[in-house]
Chains A and B, each alone.
Chain A
Amino acid sequence: MTTTTTAARPASSAPAPADLRRSALPLRRRLTDGFAKGLMVLALLVALVPLGLVIYKVIEAGAGVMSLDFLVDDIPNSARRAGGGMGPAVAGTLIITGAAAAMSIPLGVLGAIYLNEYGKQNALARLIRTMADVMTGVPSVVMGLFVYVSYVLLVKEQSGFAAALALGCLMLPIIIRSTEEMLRLVPDELRQASAALGARRWKTTVSVVLPAAISGIVSGIMLAIARAAGETAPVVLVAGTAFVSNWSLSGDNTTLAAQIFKNAGEFFPAAQGRAWGAALTLMAIVLVFTVAARLISSRFAIKER
């Protein structure tokens, strides 16, 4: 079919070998093929250009205000005023994200153990799996509203802890699903060997299955932390705001993401500069966790069966 146009038929009765060279294709098919490939490369560029522009701008504008003082100084209480720093936001980001991680990691890992070691394919496990997927899609602003009505209204105080609750709820389904994926990769032979040695189920899980999957689990957790550190809406709704560092979980607090949001809409160049500086700091934190996650998972990965 591809050869009819160009191959000259010899006079002998034996049919000529088909001409399979690319140049034998009709021009229209060759052009369509090249056009489609071009579009694929173009699609890639369309996605990578904004990424490059954003990263370039954050580094360029953020480096202008970045200094050690910027990372520790208090936030000026007037957006108009130049100088000052993002110290309270750095403190808030670390403590709120840390508290969220402390709440969601045990719950998430244990939930994943239930799904993979006990529930497997029964109805409850399937329901939890589906609902964890659904929960991943719940918008962060809804999680903020949830914590507001069910916690902030009860204790009548906005606080870093409330924000940590909301971020923890956002991290939980991510941790459950990524941990379960990792537990599934642990070969059944390990569990059987442990059982044959007389270990109880919980002992097998804690001392054989978890250590075997730990690198993957940690890397999934780090990605969840990186995501939570950049969440803005729940912090804006339930944490209030702060101008001096608050290293406790009670009382008003703020984070880098919330400060970026607040300062981005300001007209004053000083505020915009602080927003870029905060963006650079936040990107650095996210990058550290993302890269660490990749290193851990590639260095210590269990081989897939």
Chain B
Amino acid sequence: MTVVDKSAQLTRKDRGRHADRLFWAVCVFAGLAVLIILALILVTTVNEAFPAFSADFFTSTDWIPNDPDGDGPRGPVYGTLAFLYGTLVVSAIAVVVAVPVSIGIALFLTELAPPKLRATIVTLIDMLAAVPSVVFGLWGILVLAPAIAPVYQGIHDVVGGVPVLGSLFGEPRSSGRTFMTAGLILAVMIIPIITSISREVFATVPDSDKQAAWALGATRWEMIKGAVLPHSFGGVVGAVILGLGRAMGETIAVALVIGSSVQITANLFESGYALPAIIVDQWGESTGDFRAALIGMGVVLFIITVLINLLARVVVRRAEIRMKGASA
């Protein structure tokens, strides 16, 4: 009789069943928090910024937040093109500088470095990622900018007469706070991200591919060129897009070193502005529509970075599927 009782206990509908259900519900809610927060970000910021969205907002290069003539004919104009331009330019510089460096480091770590050295270098690169961006900004504005201005002058003196290069590397701003300085600081900040993802991608290259290259008598570089790089192209592209997204959203370091002047110019040695930078810079003095315009720029930034991140995930996932297919 007792034996039957015990087996019955195993299926009895006791309190534990409810505890299980409750725990599941709590966990699901915690998981849903991510979706809820993202949705709330979009809804609340768009709602608050709505007064600022006009034709001028997306098409004008004029940024006149405080009416200069009092109640004169010229009202405030909130054109954001100059900031969008600045964001694109500094991110482009950052990516152009950071990508070759990151791929070089990742290749060095996976294909060249002795195993003992490898852990040390990975720690150092992690440290680069751990330095807060505001510290890079502080260093950029007080140390790098003054020191690099003469370098810009030198480059300008050499290539100033050449048609395209001459306009890109024009007369430099003497403070050194320029598009180029902001781009270089950003490059340092996104190197750890691109490096770590590229490293993971390179590590998935099948050993058989590499050994085949060795057996054909390839040198190390020929092995990398023939076996490693073609295999990991997709993954590296994903890493680069992720780095781009990070660069576009980076705020504080850029705000400190970009020089804060509203203009669109091809000259990379001139001062400029970027979307996140103007938000923190002018937040304290803004009210009403002015503040709505700043929030509106936040919305633009949010949408751009979400799209870029989604794109990066798609690219990486597609590359992963292809790699697994190849190695299976």
Contacts and interface: CB of A to CB of B under 8 A. Distances in A.
B256 A265 contact: yes
Nearest to A257: B134
B158 interface: no
B301 interface: yes
A95 interface: no
Nearest to B314: A130
Per DSSP, chain B at the interface is: helix
Contact of A232 (B28, B132, B142): B132
Given A130-B313, A131-B35, A40 B48 contact: no
Interface string B227-263: 0000000000000001001101111100110000000
Contacts of B8: none
Per DSSP, chain A at the interface is: helix
B40 A230 contact: no
Interface stretch (B58-66, B214-222, B319-327): B214-222
Interface string B198-221: 000000000000000000110111
Given A36-B221, A47-B128, A236-B283, A54 B139 contact: yes
A265 B141 contact: yes
A272 interface: yes
Interface stretch (B76-84, B119-127, B149-157, B162-170): B119-127
A134 interface: yes
A65 interface: no
Contact of B249 (A131, A138, A150, A198): A138
A116 to B, nearest CB: 10
A127 interface: yes
Given A36-B221, A139-B305, A233 B105 contact: no
A138 B306 contact: yes
Sorting the interface of chain B by its residue count into under 10, 10 to 19, 20 to 34 or 35 or more gives 35 or more
Interface stretch (A6-14, A79-87, A105-113): A105-113
B37 interface: yes
A20 B216 CA distance: 11
B23 A201 contact: yes
A287 B136 CA distance: 15
Contacts of A54: 131, 135-136, 139
Interface residues of A, number: 98
A5 interface: no
Interface string A188-213: 00000000001011110110000000
A261 B130 contact: no
B313 A149 contact: no
Contact of B137 (A55, A134, A137, A261): A261
B139 A53 contact: yes
B176 interface: no
A169 B37 contact: yes
A30 B130 contact: no
Interface of B: 10, 16-17, 19-20, 22-24, 26-35, 37-38, 40-41, 44-45, 47-48, 100-105, 107-108, 112, 121, 123-128, 130-139, 141-143, 188, 191, 195, 216-217, 219-222, 224, 242, 245-246, 248-252, 255-256, 276, 279-280, 283, 294-295, 298, 301-302, 305-306, 308-310, 313
Given A131-B34, A141-B276, A146-B41, 5 more contacts: A39-B104, A113-B27, A114-B24, A137-B242, A231-B132
Task: Report the 8 A-B pairs with minimum CB-CB distance, sorted nearest first.
Answer: A230-B132, A43-B104, A139-B249, A110-B30, A202-B23, A114-B27, A36-B221, A137-B309
25 contacts: A1-B216, A29-B219, A44-B105, A47-B128, A53-B143, A111-B30, A111-B33, A114-B27, A114-B31, A131-B38, A137-B242, A142-B298, A142-B302, A200-B20, A202-B19, A202-B24, A226-B130, A227-B130, A232-B251, A261-B280, A264-B134, A264-B137, A272-B142, A279-B135, A286-B131
